[in-house]
Structure 1
Amino acid sequence: MQPIEGDILPFSEYLELTAKPIAEPVVWRWQAIESETRLRAHNPQGTLALSGGNVDEHGTVAPDISLVIQVLKPSEMTERHRHSFWHLYIARSGSGELAFGEDGVTERIESGDTVFVPAWCYHTIANCSDSEPFVLYRLQNLPQNASGGNLMREIGGKLQIIYANPGLATHR
């Protein structure tokens, strides 16, 4: 990788370039979200990401924060993994189990429960029902990690450093 020549800016111009827009109130109606979840393909990591308002990045609900609707189909389970960003899960409907930490301590999660999973904490979520989906809101600081070039994930013992340019991603 060859370095490029940098720009030199007056400080006032720099401030203008780094200014962030003022956030606006945003409402996402559950009826619309639920309708979209029926239309979209599901994967265990997430089905929909909410976006909107006057924020600086697409896919954020507030500066540096994203909100994902995660729908686990009956009997579906995520792969055990960990990453550089945290999750705050809020169970919307259904129920399941969340295993976290090195020891895989399991907690039963019911509709209305809230669970915080810190950065780099191993975790997996399972829908224990054989007939009903398990729907969770997942608030996370993934955009903050991505904007700082620190977006990393480990699955199956392989560390992935995730960049916008796929040619730059490394796997260890």
Structure 2
Amino acid sequence: MIVQEGRLIPFVEYLERARPQRERPVIWHSRDIWAAANEHGGHARGSVALTRDSAADKTAIAPGLSLTAQIVEPGTHAPVHSHSFWHLYFVQRGEGHIAIDSERDLQSLHTGDWLFVPAWCVHAIDNRAGTVPLELIVLQNLPQNAALGNLARADQDKPIQLTYSAS
């Protein structure tokens, strides 16, 4: 690894550089979100992420947080997994299940439900019994974990895989 020379600046300049940039409001229209989610398919790990090009972190909807619109098509499910960030799910439309700790422990999900899944909690969204797409809005602290070099995932019966690590 190449080591670079550090730089010294006056503390008043440091404070000026650290000053937060003024944020601009952003709007995402529901019709555009779900049209894009449908266009990109019902991928098990999320369909589309809402982003802000004007933000310092272009993956975050707010500092350290990301928001995705996820569609789980009828007859499909995500594999059982866990990861270093938490999820806060909102069921926008449809019904389905979430497996917590194992594929046998299914909890029902209905339109309007909220569900918090802590970091490293084994889980999987399941719509195998569904007749309509399950539409989810998912808030998560994934950008925070990535920025800390701590983004990791473990699929069922597999070792932890670092997506982004500090090394």
Q: TM-score range by the shorter chain?
A: 0.7 to 0.9
Deviation track 1:48-73 (CA, whole Å, cap 9, x = no partner) reads: 00012742211211111110111111
Output the amino acid matched with 1:121: C
1:144 counterpart SS class: helix
Specify the alignment match of 2:101 in structure 1.
101
Aligned residues: 166
Q: 2: CA distance between counterparts of 1:37 and 1:87?
A: 18
1:95–1:129 Cα contact (<8 Å) kept: no
What are the within-5 Å matches in structure 2 for residues 80-159 of structure 1? 80-101=80-101, 105-156=105-156, 157-159=158-160
TM-score by length of 1: 0.85
Q: 1: CA distance between counterparts of 2:71 and 2:131?
A: 13
In structure 2, relative to structure 1, the CA distance for the partners of 1:5 and 1:53 (3 Å cut) is: closer
RMSD, aligned α-carbons: 2.3
In structure 2, relative to structure 1, the CA distance for the partners of 1:54 and 1:82 (3 Å cut) is: same
2:84–2:150 Cα contact (<8 Å) kept: yes
What are the within-5 Å matches in structure 2 for residues 29-108 of structure 1? 29-52=29-52, 54-101=54-101, 105-108=105-108
Q: 1: CA distance between counterparts of 2:155 and 2:14?
A: 39
Instruction: Compute the displacement of 1:5 (Å).
Output: 3.1
Specify the alignment match of 1:6 in structure 2.
6
Structure 2: stretches of 5+ with no match in the other structure: none
TM-score by length of 2: 0.87
1:22–1:55 Cα contact (<8 Å) kept: no
Specify the alignment match of 1:160 in structure 2.
161
Q: 2: CA distance between counterparts of 1:104 and 1:2?
A: 50
Instruction: Compute the displacement of 1:43 (Å).
Output: 1.1
2:90–2:112 Cα contact (<8 Å) kept: yes
**Mean Cα deviation higher: 156-165 or 123-132:** 156-165
**Mean Cα deviation higher: 2-11 or 86-95:** 2-11
2:150–2:165 Cα contact (<8 Å) kept: no
The structure 1 segments of at least 4 consecutive aligned residues displaced by more than 6 Å after TM superposition are none
Q: 2: CA distance between counterparts of 1:18 and 1:110?
A: 44
Structure 1: stretches of 5+ with no match in the other structure: none
Q: 1: CA distance between counterparts of 2:98 and 2:162?
A: 25
In structure 2, relative to structure 1, the CA distance for the partners of 1:66 and 1:164 (3 Å cut) is: same
Instruction: Compute the displacement of 1:110 (Å).
Output: 0.4
Output the amino acid matched with 2:6: G
Output the amino acid matched with 1:158: P
Instruction: Compute the displacement of 1:102 (Å).
Output: 6.4
Instruction: Compute the displacement of 1:118 (Å).
Output: 0.7
